[in-house]
Structure 1
């Protein structure tokens, strides 16, 4: 069975714009996904990136235009300046990790719900009530928001180290079991073709 390591940040607008396409691709090819939420700011620092707020104004302006364009192209709701961004991404990441460990729900739906809460619904995904609602909506026990904290923190740190070792430097970033790497939601078609053996 093919396998995809999915490195992402729960506050990444580009991961939000990926929607459910990764899961659709994985299902089409019988591939498994391991969700690896991480601290994107730490990843930038480790791999030569720059926080959006510290980038040159030309880069910031282009990012603002292009995010809106991409959302329109994908027919997705999107708020360029959400009320709670940036926010502490650790609690929501711990919830994804705990849910993946627990099983019984839809981890992809959980990740999408958290990102939608940030980029569409003006909710703070660092807050316990928001995380619990997203867990419940994806079929998980909301109490995972509490019980998975210690293991979540350990895995969260490990995900960063694994991302650096795997050559990831942004979010979303997809790595297959044959070490093919794809950065950005606009490379999902490439991932699809790679898994089909045509790229």
Structure 2
């Protein structure tokens, strides 16, 4: 059985545009997933990436075209310039980490729904996913105890830092990023078809 380490940040539009396709692909092939939210600016700083504001105008302009086309292709509602972007992704990342731990203890909910819910809140619902009430509402909507927003804070912070270190060691340099069985890497939601083919033994 294949295992996928899924590295991402909750304010990435490209991660939002992946929708739930990763989960569908994993289910199709009987693969497991570990969700690993990361501090993307720290990943960038160690792998040669540039924050959006520091990229050349041509690249920023192209990004906007690609986002518009990506929204049209996926059918997902997308606000190209959301009111609360950029914002601090850490609180939502901590909540996801705490929720994953709750699932491992048999007291959780829909983890994939939680992740996509925070992404949707940022990119389609004009919500600030750094705010406590948004974090709690997301947990509750996905079937988790909203108190995880507080009780999982320390563990979330420690795991978030560890995920970031592991990401760099694994060769991750963007979001979303998928690593199969610790070695085969796929960057971007537009490589999910390749991930599917790889798990099928066709690549």
Query: What is the CA-CA distance between 1:4 and the residue it aligns to?
Result: 0.1
CA offsets, 1:134-185, max 9 Å, x none? 1111111111000000000000000000000000000000000051100000
Normalization by structure 1: what TM-score? 0.99
1:185 aligns with 2:192: no
Q: What SS does structure 2 have at the residue aligned with 1:158?
A: helix
Task: Provide structure 1 residue ranges, at least 5 long, that are not aligned to the other structure.
Answer: none
Q: What SS does structure 2 have at the residue aligned with 1:34?
A: strand
Cα gap change, 1:178/1:47 in structure 2, threshold over 3 Å: closer, same or farther? closer
Larger deviation, residues 111-120 vs 99-108: 99-108
Q: Which residue of 2 aligns with 1:17?
A: 17
Query: What is the CA-CA distance between 1:195 and the residue it aligns to?
Result: 0.5
1:96 aligns with 2:96: yes
Distance 1:170 1:180 in 2: 15
Counterpart mapping for 1:134-149 below 5 A: 134-149=138-153
1:112 aligns with 2:93: no
Distance 2:16 2:135 in 1: 16
Task: Provide structure 2 residue ranges, at least 5 long, that are not aligned to the other structure.
Answer: none
Instruction: Pick the aligned partner of 2:128 from 101, 105, 124.
Output: 124
Distance 1:138 1:26 in 2: 20
Q: What SS does structure 2 have at the residue aligned with 1:126?
A: coil
Query: What is the CA-CA distance between 1:8 and the residue it aligns to?
Result: 0.1
Distance 2:134 2:182 in 1: 37
Cα gap change, 1:17/1:141 in structure 2, threshold over 3 Å: closer, same or farther? same
Distance 1:178 1:107 in 2: 22
CA offsets, 1:88-109, max 9 Å, x none? 1110000000000001211111
Q: Which residue of 2 aligns with 1:164?
A: 168
Tell me the C-alpha RMSD between the 2 structures. 0.7
Q: Which residue of 2 aligns with 1:2?
A: 2
